[in-house]
Amino acid sequence: MVEFQHNNHVYASIQQTLFLLNIRHTPCMGFKPKQQPSRLETVNEFTEQMKAAVEETKFTIWKA
């Protein structure tokens, strides 16, 4: 997930993502982050952890 976020980040120096440079499109992550909550609490916890990891990765790349 970190590698995906790294490749999907728009870099100021090149004004585009690494995905666009390498494969000329941005692939889908494979899941929908805005799904309805599950009846299983472990699924909801996992979804929240994934969202937090994506946001932290975005911030870390932006900060770097």
pLDDT (tens digit per residue) in 22-61: 888 778 766 555 667 778 888 889 888 888 888 888 888 8
Q: Which residues form the domain of 33?
A: 2-63
Q: How far apart are CA 46 and CA 41, in angstroms?
A: 9
Side-chain-side CA neighbours of 64 within 13 Å: the count stands at: 10
SS3 16: strand
pLDDT of residue 5 exceeding 70: yes
- How many domains in the chain? 1
Beta bridge partners of 16: 11
At 18, the pLDDT band (50, 70, 90 cuts) reads confident
